[in-house]
Amino acid sequence: MNSNISIFQLMLHAHPLVQVVLALLLIASVLSWTVIISKRALLSRTEKAAASFENRFWSGGTLGDLYENLRRGRDKSDEGLAQVFCAGYEEFTRQQGTQVDADDALASVQRQMRVAQTREIERLEGGLSMLATIGSTSPYVGLFGTVWGIMNAFIAIGNVKQATLAAVAPGIAEALIATAVGLFAAIPAVIAYNFFTSRVDRIETRFGTFAEEMTGIIERGLRGASGSRAA
Segment 8-18, tens digit of pLDDT: 666 666 677 88
With H, G, I as helix, E, B as strand and everything else as coil, classify residue 116: helix
For residue 89, how far is the Cα from the chain centroid? 28
With H, G, I as helix, E, B as strand and everything else as coil, classify residue 97: coil
Say if CB 59 and CB 214 are below 8 A apart.
no
Say if CB 35 and CB 131 are below 8 A apart.
yes
Is 23 or 13 the better-scoring residue by pLDDT? 23
Question: Is a pLDDT exceeding 90 seen at residue 39?
Answer: yes
pLDDT tens profile 164-193: 666 666 667 777 888 899 999 999 999 999
* Angstrom distance (rounded) from CA 174 to CA 18: 8
CA atoms within 13 A on the CB side of 46: 25
As a whole-number percent, the residues of the chain with pLDDT over 70 amount to: 80
Sign of the alpha-carbon dihedral angle for 13, 15, 19, 25:
negative
pLDDT at 149: 81
With H, G, I as helix, E, B as strand and everything else as coil, classify residue 73: coil
What confidence category does residue 33 fall into, taking pLDDT thresholds of 50, 70 and 90? Answer: very high
Max intra-chain CA distance, the chain: 105
CA distances from 84 to 44, 94, 220 (A): 18, 16, 19
pLDDT at 230: 36
With H, G, I as helix, E, B as strand and everything else as coil, classify residue 61: coil
* Angstrom distance (rounded) from CA 186 to CA 188: 6
pLDDT tens profile 118-136: 999 999 999 999 999 999 9
Is 104 or 125 the better-scoring residue by pLDDT? 125
Among candidate residues 126, 113, 133, the one with its CA nearest the CA of residue 197 = 126
What confidence category does residue 5 fall into, taking pLDDT thresholds of 50, 70 and 90? Answer: very low
* Angstrom distance (rounded) from CA 31 to CA 196: 16
- Mean predicted confidence (pLDDT) in 131-158: 86
Average pLDDT of every residue of the chain:
82
SS3 content of the chain, % helix, strand, coil (to 5): 85, 0, 15
Residue type, 89: Y
